[in-house]
């Protein structure tokens, strides 16, 4: 898989992590675990399919949209592309999706939402321009210009509040956040669902899980007890398995055999059959 990255400038840098272009055999084919960030996909290649990783006879669903949002995902799934893969991926910073899409983040949970449901037809013209680009960097510049124009029309008054909440939500309790913002728990829950896609407690659990995945992937030769934040080993193992279907030890073994996982710890570039054989007793 080939990956080209670009970091936007100007007004976008506070709302977007990066632009990526993924292409080549096996691009974005693999096992996806829980994650929080929303991603706008502009597909330039073959269609993708999704299915249950662990079901004996999984139902395979094809995504025929050319542009869509991957929202907060809590259910592990298998992503596959049997054709020629090529796609632009726009990584939206946590909480910033509603500034780009005309819908709350909670409506993107565990599903792909086609562009016709959240933006104007102009984005399809952008895709046509991208198809004509000879260089990927030119494509990045087109996307940057398009999103910048879009944001210039938005009310961005809440951006600073969401940036603060993004930082606070990672290590501050619900009670402390409510006190700092001067809001009720009900109002905080409503804001969190609108901007982030779930309650603060739910978001904190997924963020902690993703930190754990990253820590194991980067320190695969260390003991598991030294790379997690849970209050005891039993809680760590049970929560980990409930979120992704495999044990921490199985994930660690995967990381040792496939060091590239440390780059995308919640996405394992691997065929379903190979993955299931690897984790089988």
Give the separation between CA 238 and CA 274, rounded to whole angstroms: 24
Give, for 41, the enclosing helix (H) or strand (E).
Answer: strand 39-43
pLDDT for residue 26? 67
Give, for 24, the enclosing helix (H) or strand (E).
Answer: none
Give the separation between CA 263 and CA 274, rounded to whole angstroms: 20
pLDDT for residue 179? 96
Contact 270, 253 (CB under 8 A): no
Instruction: Report if pTM > 0.85.
Output: yes
Burial of 196 (0-12, 13-18, 19+ CB in 10 A): buried
Burial of 134 (0-12, 13-18, 19+ CB in 10 A): exposed
| Interval 16-33: pLDDT, tens | 999 999 998 767 789 999
Where b means 16+ CB within 10 Å and e means fewer, 36-52 reads bbbbbbbbbbeebbbeb
pLDDT for residue 107? 96
pLDDT for residue 130? 98
- Which token pair is 145? 């210009």
pLDDT for residue 77? 95
pLDDT for residue 24? 85
Q: Where are the domains of the chain?
A: 2-152, 211-279
What totals of helices (H) and strands (E) does the chain contain, helices first?
Answer: 9, 11
pLDDT for residue 280? 86
| Interval 143-194: pLDDT, tens | 999 999 999 999 999 999 999 999 999 989 999 999 999 999 999 999 999 9
Regions in the chain scoring below 50 on pLDDT: none
């Amino acid at each position: 898989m080939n990956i080209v990255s670009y970091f936007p400038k100007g007004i976008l840098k506070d709302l977007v992590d990066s632009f990526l272009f993924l292409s080549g055999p096996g691009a974005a084919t693999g096992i996806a675990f829980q994650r929080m960030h929303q991603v706008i996909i502009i597909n330039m290649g073959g269609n993708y399919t999704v299915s249950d990783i662990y079901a004996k006879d999984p139902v395979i669903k094809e995504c025929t949209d050319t542009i869509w949002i991957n929202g907060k995902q809590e259910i592990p799934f298998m992503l596959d592309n049997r054709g020629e893969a090529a796609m632009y991926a726009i990584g939206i910073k946590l909480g910033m999706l509603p500034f780009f899409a005309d819908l709350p983040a909670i409506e993107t949970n565990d599903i792909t939402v086609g562009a016709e449901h959240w933006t104007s037809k102009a984005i399809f013209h952008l895709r046509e321009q991208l198809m004509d680009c000879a260089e990927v960097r030119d494509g990045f510049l087109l996307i940057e210009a398009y999103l910048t124009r879009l944001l210039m029309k938005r009310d961005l008054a809440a951006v600073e509040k969401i940036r603060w909440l993004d930082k606070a939500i990672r290590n501050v309790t619900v009670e402390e956040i409510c006190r700092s913002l001067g809001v009720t728990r009900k109002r905080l829950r409503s804001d969190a669902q609108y901007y982030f896609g779930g309650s603060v407690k739910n978001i904190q659990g997924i963020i902690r899980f993703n930190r754990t995945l990253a820590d194991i992937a980067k320190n695969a030769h260390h003991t598991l007890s030294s790379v997690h934040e849970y209050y005891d080993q039993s809680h760590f193992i049970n929560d980990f398995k409930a979120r992704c279907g495999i044990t921490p030890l199985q994930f660690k073994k995967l990381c040792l055999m496939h060091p590239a996982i440390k780059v995308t710890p919640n996405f394992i570039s691997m065929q379903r059959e190979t993955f299931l054989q690897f984790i089988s007793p």
